[in-house]
Amino acid sequence: MRARPGIAIGSSAFAFGIALAMADIYPFAIGHWLFAGGTAIHGAIGVSLRSARLRNLWLGYGFSALALSAAVHVWFWRFAFPKGVWYPEPPQILQRFLQVDGESALDALVSNWIIVALPALSLAFLAAAFLVGGPRSGASTNSA
């Protein structure tokens, strides 16, 4: 039994919203805005896609973003932080714009990795979208 496209797009949008909300830093409490905005934008784009192949790729992107954010959190809080393994060195992106210390500084380290990893994931899925969007038959596209 196939799931309805609306349910699949909604689930993917929900997963993408959670992935964005995981980049929130403790005292600033903007996670609910990141979640709402990410869910709405991801869902709107998913609904507007007409090609089934592109829609399936978009669904995979939403779930992959959640898996990536979860992997970053698990890596940092279960491996790097308790064992003192700080390689690769976390990039200092948020610290350039926000004053963070204490627990916020640790949250910022995780968020920095998410800020680096999500655009890389986005570029990979963008490249895949260009590959998926081409002709799928073995026939030549030339009419002559």
Distance from C-alpha of 48 to C-alpha of 54, rounded to nearest angstrom = 10
C-beta of residue 105 within 8 angstroms of C-beta of residue 81: no
pTM surpassing 0.95?
A: no
112 lies in some domain: yes
53 lies in some domain: yes
- What's residue 142's pLDDT? 53
101 lies in some domain: yes
Which domain, by its residues, includes 9? 5-131
28 lies in some domain: yes
| DSSP H or E run through 26 | none
69 lies in some domain: yes
139 lies in some domain: no
Sign for the pseudo-dihedral over CA of 84, 87, 73, 115? positive
142 lies in some domain: no
- What's residue 1's pLDDT? 42
Q: How many domains does the chain have?
A: 1
What does the block give as tokens for 23?
């980049």
Residue position matching structure tokens 């507007």: 48
Distance from C-alpha of 38 to C-alpha of 16, rounded to nearest angstrom = 6
144 lies in some domain: no
User: Tens digit of pLDDT per residue, the chain (144 long)?
Assistant: 455 778 899 999 999 999 999 888 776 778 889 999 999 999 999 999 888 888 899 999 999 999 999 999 898 888 888 887 766 777 788 888 888 887 788 888 888 888 889 999 999 999 988 887 655 555 555 554
